[in-house]
């Protein structure tokens, strides 16, 4: 009798999981593929194919602070791969300790490959284009195209690596450096137990996490947070009500008032929240998002259920060994902190 009861519970649990997984897929949610070939189709750029050599060189460049004017700031400074792929600040801090003039929060670089567009206003179509922006932005790395090219070209190890990857006639310039960094960034994918669940593992999520996923769908969160990235598309902000910190910073979205929806993957590690980083805790962010975007006064129970689900989006990060950078030469531009 006990075995029969346990079997009945297991069957019921499996049926519930299958139902919830199907609801999620019907709502537009999709997992990171468990199959490597299927994943490569999603993350690779045919115009800039991923290779092991490009990934390794891109990683070196990502961590190299000499690409910045001051010689102090690297891509990893604002997109720290040791934690959530961001900087943990409400607004990014760059060259000469400049706070982002629009009070914009640094988005995570993890899973950014799943974004259909890049930057909060969606002005870049892909990572290769996006990677050029921060290097040149005055409040960020504050470098010029000439500086970036001169830094990389000054070190024989970098020059040799570029030639091996792109050919002896390669032109080492800002665009080529950004392309290479982007290849590394394309590999920063973090599959989670949520993905395992949607990929068929009925036991990957607890019953409480499945209930949270159901609530997430039922209240309408998937209107914006959808697809593989659970975000990454442009959407209307302040859809129903006005965000309580709307006037902190001057960011209003693109020309049509559209804002790129942030990914919810690893959301427990990417606070503070919203484009200007004014929401300090995840429950507060969930509550405010429900009010602003859905016109709902989410109950404490609903907020707690959604938070329980979101915690299951913490992913398995790729193992990243700190790269050893080539030594500067007498041709390497000196740091300029002015």
Classify residue 255 as left (phi > 0), alpha (psi -120 to 50) or beta.
alpha
| Tens digit of each residue's pLDDT (9 = 90 or more) over 5-22 | 555 444 456 677 889 999
Structure confidence by residue, pLDDT tens digits, 64-87: 999 999 999 999 999 999 999 999
User: Do residues 129 and 122 make contact, with C-beta atoms less than 8 angstroms apart?
Assistant: no
Q: Where in the chain is the domain with CATH 1.10.760.10?
A: 20-35+190-311, 40-186
**pLDDT of the residue at 155:** 98
Confidence (pLDDT) at 16: 75
Q: Cβ atoms within 10 A of the Cβ of 45, count?
A: 15
- On whether the CB atoms of residues 84 and 76 are closer than 8 A, the answer is no
The C-alpha atoms of residue 112 and residue 105 are separated, in whole angstroms, by: 15
Q: Using alpha carbons, select from 224, 211, 197 the residue that is nearest to residue 289.
A: 224
Q: What count of other Cβ atoms lies within 10 Å of the Cβ of residue 295?
A: 11
Show the tokens assigned to 187.
């590999």
Q: Where are the alpha helices (DSSP H) in the chain?
A: 2-26, 36-43, 52-63, 75-78, 127-130, 132-136, 145-153, 156-166, 174-186, 193-198, 207-218, 282-289, 300-311
CB 79 within 8 A of CB 185: no
Instruction: Give the N- to C-terminal CA distance of the chain in Å, as an integer.
Output: 78
pLDDT tens sequence across 231-243: 999 999 999 999 9
List the CATH code of the domain at 20-35+190-311. Answer: 1.10.760.10
pLDDT tens-digit profile of 93-151? Answer: 999 999 999 999 999 999 999 999 999 999 999 999 999 999 999 999 999 999 999 99
Q: Are 243 and 237 in contact (CB under 8 A)?
A: yes
The residues that are catalytic are 140
Are 130 and 118 in contact by the 8 Å Cβ rule? The answer is yes
Q: Note if the pTM is more than 0.85.
A: yes
Cis? peptide before 64, omega within 30° of 0: no
Domain 40-186 CATH (choose: 1.10.10.10, 3.90.550.10, 3.40.920.10, 1.10.760.10): 1.10.760.10
């Amino acid at each position: 009798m006990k075995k029969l009861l346990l079997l009945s519970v297991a069957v019921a649990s499996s049926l519930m999981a299958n139902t919830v997984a199907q609801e999620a897929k019907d709502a537009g949610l999709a997992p990171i593929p468990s199959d490597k070939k299927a994943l490569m189709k999603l993350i690779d750029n045919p115009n800039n194919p991923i290779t092991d050599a490009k990934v390794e060189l891109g990683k070196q460049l990502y961590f190299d602070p000499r690409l910045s004017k001051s010689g102090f700031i690297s891509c990893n400074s604002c997109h720290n791969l040791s934690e959530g792929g961001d900087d943990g600040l409400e607004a990014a801090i760059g060259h000469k300790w400049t706070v982002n003039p629009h009070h914009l929060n640094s988005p995570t670089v993890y899973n950014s490959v799943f974004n259909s567009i890049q930057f909060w206003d969606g002005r870049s179509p892909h990572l290769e284009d996006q990677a050029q922006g921060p290097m040149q932005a005055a409040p960020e790395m504050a470098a010029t195209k000439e500086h970036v090219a001169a830094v990389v070209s000054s070190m024989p190890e970098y020059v040799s690596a570029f030639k091996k990857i792109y050919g002896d006639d390669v032109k080492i310039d800002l665009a080529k450096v950004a392309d290479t960094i982007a290849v590394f960034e394309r590999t920063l994918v973090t599959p989670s137990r949520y993905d395992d669940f949607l990929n068929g593992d009925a036991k990957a999520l607890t019953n409480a996490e499945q209930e949270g996923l159901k609530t997430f769908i039922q209240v309408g969160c998937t209107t914006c947070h959808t697809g593989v990235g659970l975000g990454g598309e442009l959407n209307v902000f302040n859809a129903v009500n006005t965000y309580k910190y709307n006037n902190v910073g001057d960011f209003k979205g693109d020309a049509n008032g559209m804002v790129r929806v942030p990914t919810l993957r690893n959301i427990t590690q990417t606070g503070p929240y919203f484009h200007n980083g004014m929401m300090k805790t995840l429950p507060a962010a969930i509550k405010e998002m429900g009010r602003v975007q859905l016109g709902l006064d989410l109950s404490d129970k609903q907020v707690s259920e959604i938070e329980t689900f979101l915690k299951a989006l913490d992913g398995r990060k790729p193992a990243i060994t700190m790269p050893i950078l080539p030594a500067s030469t007498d041709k390497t531009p000196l740091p300029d902190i002015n």
